[in-house]
Structure 1
Amino acid sequence: MELAQKARKVIVLMNQTDKYGNPKIVDECTLPLTSARCVNMIITEMAVFQISAHGLILTDLFAPHSINEV
């Protein structure tokens, strides 16, 4: 928790979906948070997202994935 709060930049590396195909990037977390609003970037096997005050910004899309898949 302390690392997430004091870090200048937090990058999360994760899978885009769970083993059932459900998206892991959601509007609201259902689990307890150790530090809220600390992530700056999310990198998955499909794409790269920057986090802004307005939401997620898709910055890179990895082949062979499409925007519809992401």
Structure 2
Amino acid sequence: MYKNYIWDFDGTLYDTYPVMLECILSSLAKDFAISGDGAKIYFLLKNESSAAVAREYALDFTEFTQKFKALE
């Protein structure tokens, strides 16, 4: 009988990175007047996290997350 399960949805069953990238680029433009570099943001998302994107553009992580998650 199994006691623990590991569930890896993103990247295994469904690739959410393209949608996240689109929402982040839209939020950067609309909410922060920043023209984001899609290739760089995609790299940061795949290799680190959205926190790395916030750091890259010197944004408050909490505010940035609220703005782009509202578009997802």
Judging by fraction of residues, say which structure has more helix: 2
Structure exhibiting the larger radius of gyration computed from Cα positions: 2
Judging by fraction of residues, say which structure has more strand: 1
**Higher RCO (C-alpha under 8 Å, 6+ residues apart):** 2
| TM-score, normalisation: structure 1 | 0.27
